[in-house]
Each structure stands twice: as structure tokens, then as C-alpha cells.
Amino acid sequence: MEEKADLRAIEYGELESIVTGLLEKKFRASQIYGWIHGKQAESLDAMTNVPGGLKEALSKDYEIFTVKKDRVQESALDGTRKYLFELHDGNLIESVFMRYEHGDSVCVSTQVGCRMGCKFCASTIDGLVRNLTAGEMLGQIYGIMKDTGSRISNVVMMGSGEPLDNYDESLKFIRMLTDERGLNISQRNVTLSTCGIVPRIRELADEELTITLAISLHACSDEKRRELMPVANKYSLDEIIGACRYYFDRTGRRLTFEYSLVNGVNDNDDDARGLAMLLRGLNCHVNLIPVNPVRERNYAQSTKQAVLAFKNKLEKNHINVTIRREMGRDIDGACGQLRRRVISAEGRILRKDTKDA
């Protein structure tokens, strides 16, 4: 049987062509899109004002793929909720819901697994299984909205996966998420985080978006960075900073740099000084994240004093810096940990889609 396509993953313009191709009026596309992305409908059946004939015609080739809540862990410390979702093909992905003073936020995954191989990260241990579609990224947010009743105002693409390794779907997701016919989230409230795929950063800069770009730096020399992140063998820090300058020139958006502090690896005074030199003159903000220890990995969190000293050193060098509040420390906080634990404890399979893997 030919597999149907996911209606949730279809952009407005394409939906309009599908609907007019079925000899229906254009406004039906607007109705259907509104059901899926405005009201978060989960089936064609739910669309009460769409004619039965059209629903039937669509249902021959399309359906709305499920992004089904498998389980949720809520942090007793800060109310952060970590979701495990099951996709229509049985794959499991994680998403996180966080409440902040400035609004509720969702952290979405962009791939099942990841092939970037960062040494401290749980998401990449078994490599990449497959890319997520824009519909599956939206589905994570819609599922969380349904479960919490929250109106989401911020979205960060910082879950499992490398968004710039799944460029087209990530971009489509951003366009659909910020479309006024859907959730209409401001692009300024969307952050895309990357390990630093330089040509893609430049391409993203040319898209004329106003999203925030976050770069996972984690080291201030190529040598040290290569120990933590294999992608550093491909792109140097100079090339990354060059691409960041280009991003700022094109978009006017301040950059964010993420720096996970690992005890004895990248957290001494010289590291802080090196980082300040690297970022000098760049309109940016540094987010320090005490590394979240992952069972399979041998990295420990920097001490409180080391984190504070690192922060002070950056501030003395006029770098904007904050220490990321550790959300959900008690609930498998680090990317990919919950999924791994469930897969190994319950013998759930790690499905591979041979097409994409």
C-alpha cells in the first residue's frame, strides 16, 4: 500500500494547489490550513465545515500523522515537562516545555538521533535515524499545547538533531510556525541552534529571517573543539566567526553562543580569556551551560566556583553573558537521555528508515 502524505507538513501555497487541483475553491485551503495549524486538528474528520466530498478526496492521499504522547516527566524543581512522543512509524523523539516569566517555551527536536557526534551529547550516541518533517516539528508543539493548555510564545530548535543538517524541513517549519494563519509566533521568538555548519549558516543569513541564531561553541581553540565536536574537523572557529559576522550583517540579529562547561576540559581562566578574544567586537551574548552529565559519557560538570569565575572573566572583557538556568535537572534533562533510557529499559526498537539513514 502506498503510504499517505502528512497534511500537517504541507505549506499553505502547496495546499492551495492541491485543493484547486481537486476543483475546489481556494478558500477551502484556507479553512483546512486553519483547522490544522490554527485549531491543531488531528484528523480530517474534525474539520466540520469542510465538505465531506473534499475530505474524502483528500483522504485518498493524505492524513494527519500522529505525534502521540508516550509519556511526560515533570520536574519537581521548576515544572519543566519533558515529553516523549511516538511518531507514526514508531520512532521516539523528545521535546521539552518550559515556563518562563516572558512566556511559555518549547524545545523541539529536528531529527531522530543525530550524526554530529558531539562527545558530551546523548542524542548522537546511536547516530542519525532519520530527519523529521516540518509537520513532525509542529506536531511536537501542538501536542504540548493540547496537553498543557498553554499558548506557546517561544520556540527553540535545541532538542535532538542538527537543524542545519535537515535544512529544508527546518526552514519550512520556521515559515509555518511564524505564519499568521497558524500559531503566528514572532520570528524574533524563534531560536535555531547549530553546531556550526558554516555554508548553511551563510545560506540561512540570506533567507531574510529575523530568528535568533545560536552557535554551540564549547571551546575557544580548534584543537580543544575537535576533542569535543567532530564537526570542528570540518570547519574552523575562524570560519564560524566569519559566518556569524555575515549573519549579523545580513539580519542585524545579535548572535547567541552556547558554551557547555565541562570540568577540567574547557573551563579554566585561559579558556575564558580565549573565548573573550574570539568574540571581541561581535554583537553577541554567551550562554554558559554547566554540562549535563550523560550516563554513557565521562564528562563532569564544572564546579559552581569555576562557572562563576568563567562568567566574571567574560564580563571583565565586556562580553554579555548569562548562566543558563538548569531546567529539569531531575528529569533526564540532557538532550536524548529520556529517549535512550526508554529504548534500553523497555526494549523499544530504534527504527531505521533505510531511505534516509
Q: Does 132 bind ligand SAH (CB under 6 A)?
A: no
Least spacing, CB of residue 158 vs ligand SAH, in Å? 4
CB closer to ligand SAH, 62 vs 259? 259
CA atoms 280, 193, 289, 107: torsion sign:
positive
Task: Verify whether residue 169 is a known catalytic residue.
Answer: no
Please, which residue, 19 or 113, has the CB nearer to ligand SAH? 113
Q: Please, what is the minimum distance in Å from the beta carbon of residue 339 to ligand SAH?
A: 13
Q: Which is nearer to ligand SAH, 51 or 264 (CB)?
A: 264
Phi, psi of 55 (to 5 degrees): -60, -40
Terminal alpha carbon distance of the chain: 22
Distance of alpha carbon 223 from alpha carbon 127, whole angstroms: 23
Distances (CA, A) of 178 to 18, 33, 171, 187: 22, 14, 11, 6
Q: Does 275 bind ligand SAH (CB under 6 A)?
A: no
- State the DSSP code for 325: P
- In the complex with ligand SAH, the residue whose CB is nearer, 225 or 313, is 225
- 214-233 positions binding ligand SAH, by CB under 6 A: 216
Count of residues touching ligand SAH (by CB under 6 A): 18
Pick from 121, 132, 243, 255: which binds ligand SAH (CB under 6 A)?
Answer: 121
CB 291 within 8 A of CB 301: yes
Exactly one of 50, 118, 255, 319 binds ligand SAH (CB under 6 A); which one?
A: 118
Query: Is the Cβ of residue 67 or residue 294 nearer to ligand SAH in the bound state?
Result: 294
Q: Is 284 a catalytic residue?
A: no
| Residue linked to cell 552557535 | 215
Cell of 319: 562580553
Q: Which of residues 142-201 bind ligand SAH (CB under 6 A)?
A: 158, 162, 193-195
C-alpha torsion angle, residues 340, 105, 85, 44 (rounded to 10): -160
**Contacts from 232-239 at CB under 8 Å and sequence distance 24+?**
232/196, 235/196, 235/197, 235/198, 237/278, 239/198
Instruction: Retrieve residue 56's grid coordinates.
Output: 474524502
Catalytic residues: 94, 335
Give residues in contact with ligand SAH (CB under 6 A): 116, 118, 120-121, 158, 162, 193-195, 216, 258, 260, 289, 291-292, 294, 334-335
